[in-house]
Amino acid sequence: ACSFGHHTAKEFGLKSHSESPTSPQESEHAMKGLAETRLSVQTLNRLVVQSLLRHNVSAVGISPCFAIPGLPTHDTGFASLVAVVNSTLHAGLIPVLHGDACLYGENGAAILGGDSLMQALGTSSLRLTGTVFVTDVQGIYTADPRQVPGAQLIPVIDVDNEGRVITQVSATASGHEHDVTGGLDAKLGAAASIASSGNDVVVVKSESQSAEQALKGNKYDVGTLVRKL
């Protein structure tokens, strides 16, 4: 959700696996954070849907944690999510999902990141023809290019059948300080998992020609391909 949601989630201490509140005051604080974070990510979702509708795309926004019955915050199956997305597509609609703030544990709240959603859909029974991760840099680098001037773009990253990255790459230093879902390290993990299932993943920069090319399924100029070796 870009900067939408992350700043608010960090302010309220929400992250992928938050501790359960130990007092009514902590629970109230967590619920306030959940509500504020959901408002932020839903605002972005609405803007994306509005833009797609203006371009004659029949898009519908889907908020995972409260719109999909039975979806746990950190499940490995996400069967209900896949079913909803599948039925939406079969109806001729384009589902637009977002990372979400969810009820978690006992009276607590946590973040379900967009990377987890992508991983769940990308490794599901849905017949995907490709997966594109759009970020704020050209792809995956040897180091954070915003902090290390000599960082080199990695054009291809190979993974094995188990989703383990074979290519030498260090993504742990990449990311924004307000990111509460694991930064580029989490994105690479999700991309590797998707690629291991047989679906190549392309990482490109937002608002670039390469992003447009990749989203259309065409050959792109600059980016990183994550593939199963």
Residue-level pLDDT at 180: 41
Residue-level pLDDT at 179: 43
Residue-level pLDDT at 224: 94
Of 127, 160, 194, which marks where a domain is finished? 127
Asked if 160 and 229 touch (Cβ cutoff 8 Å), the reply is: yes
Read off the pTM.
Answer: 0.81
Q: How many domains does the chain have?
A: 2
Q: Is 215 exposed, middle or buried (0-12, 13-18, 19+ CB in 10 A)?
A: middle
Residue-level pLDDT at 56: 97
Query: Which pLDDT tens digits describe the chain residue by residue (229 residues)?
Result: 556 777 788 888 787 766 677 788 988 988 898 899 999 999 999 999 999 999 999 999 998 887 776 665 555 558 888 889 999 999 999 999 998 888 877 777 888 888 888 988 998 888 888 899 998 889 988 888 888 888 889 999 999 998 888 887 765 444 544 444 446 777 888 999 999 998 999 999 999 999 999 999 999 999 999 999 8
Do 153 and 70 lie in one domain? The reply is no
Do 137 and 73 lie in one domain? The reply is no
Residue-level pLDDT at 151: 87
Asked if 56 and 107 touch (Cβ cutoff 8 Å), the reply is: no
Residue-level pLDDT at 72: 56
Do 146 and 71 lie in one domain? The reply is no
Backbone angles phi, psi at 4, to 5 degrees: -70, 115
Residue-level pLDDT at 3: 62
Phi-psi domain of 214 (left: phi exceeds 0; alpha: psi -120 through 50; beta: other):
alpha
Residue-level pLDDT at 182: 45
Q: Which amino acid is at 93?
A: L
Do 107 and 140 lie in one domain? The reply is no
d(CA 144, CA 168): 15
Residue-level pLDDT at 48: 95
Expressed as residue numbers, the domain containing 105 is 1-127
Of 66, 94, 127, which marks where a domain is finished? 127
Domain with 5 in it: what CATH number? 3.40.1160.10
Do 165 and 135 lie in one domain? The reply is yes
Tokens 């792109």 label which residue?
220
Q: Which amino acid is at 39?
A: L
Do 8 and 105 lie in one domain? The reply is yes
Do 13 and 121 lie in one domain? The reply is yes
Do 102 and 151 lie in one domain? The reply is no
Residue-level pLDDT at 49: 98
Do 109 and 185 lie in one domain? The reply is no
Do 96 and 154 lie in one domain? The reply is no
Do 27 and 120 lie in one domain? The reply is yes
Do 6 and 95 lie in one domain? The reply is yes
Structure tokens at 9: 């989630």
Residue-level pLDDT at 172: 44
Residue-level pLDDT at 176: 47
CA angle 165/200/71 to nearest 5° reads 85
